[in-house]
Amino acid sequence: MKVLAICGAANKNRNTAAMLGSAFDGAMSAVGAAGEFVYLYDLNYKGCIGCHSCKLLDERKFARCAVRDGLTPVLEKAIAADVLLIGSPIYFSDITGETRSFLERYLFPGITYNKDHSPTYPTRTKVGWVFTMNAPGEFYKDFFNGLVTMTSRIIGDSEYVTAYQTQQFEDYSKYAATMFDVPMVKKRHIEQFPKDCEAAFNMGKRLAENVKQMINGTTNSTGSARSF
């Protein structure tokens, strides 16, 4: 089994990376699988260029992104993963640009323009999303549900956890940020954020355990399981 975590946050030491790290630890604790944690901001790549090569009826090109850059090996690992964990903060009511570019090049080759829009990747992957934001949690519920619905259809069963009204600064007085209830935010960071990380841990563990059960079921019934 393989677990891949994709971090779409620029800061490796803040909320999204910490929470995604908890989800990754949860998955790894469940099965002792091979795992990798990727920071998208470390890579040099672009979003989809609209070449439609991935739709060609050519076995060398079909369902694979034709662009070759820093994201190419990550896409191959994502396709091969049993559990995929994706984390992004919310900027301007959306995931980060790097996360969006990754999704364009990961999801678009995963479907056809045929009438049934059937998925193209050879196996299904369990997907766990991690979202962090300084806004109230209900602001983006429909957006989160939309992303989860999309990855569920193209990639595999998906779910998500969130952390909201998160702490962004140690000292808010140094920033133009008077809209925030700073005592409340700091209190939430101390009391709630550890619970959010625990929820992420449990999600990662649950997804990995589900895959493990599926693999064991395949092994018991056919004598072989998915291999890489």
pTM of the model: 0.92
Structure tokens at 29: 């604790």
Which domains, from first to last, does the chain contain?
Answer: 2-222 (3.40.50.360)
Residue range 148-176: mean pLDDT, rounded:
95
Please give the Cα distance from 26 to 183 (Å, whole number): 31
Q: With cut-offs at 50, 70 and 90, classify the pLDDT of residue 153.
A: very high
**42-50 contacts: CB < 8 A, separation 24 or more?**
43/69, 43/70, 43/71, 43/74, 44/69, 44/70, 45/69, 45/70, 45/71, 45/72, 45/101, 45/105, 46/101, 47/100, 47/101, 47/104, 47/105, 48/101, 48/104, 48/105, 48/108
Give me the pLDDT at residue 224, please.
Answer: 29
Q: Which residue has the higher pLDDT, 221 or 183?
A: 183
Question: Taking 90 as the threshold, does the pLDDT of residue 125 lie above it?
Answer: yes
Give me the pLDDT at residue 75, please.
Answer: 98
Query: Cα(first)–Cα(last) distance of the chain, in Å?
Result: 8
Please give the Cα distance from 62 to 121 (Å, whole number): 10
Q: Which among 100, 90, 68 has a CA at the least distance from the CA of 19?
A: 90
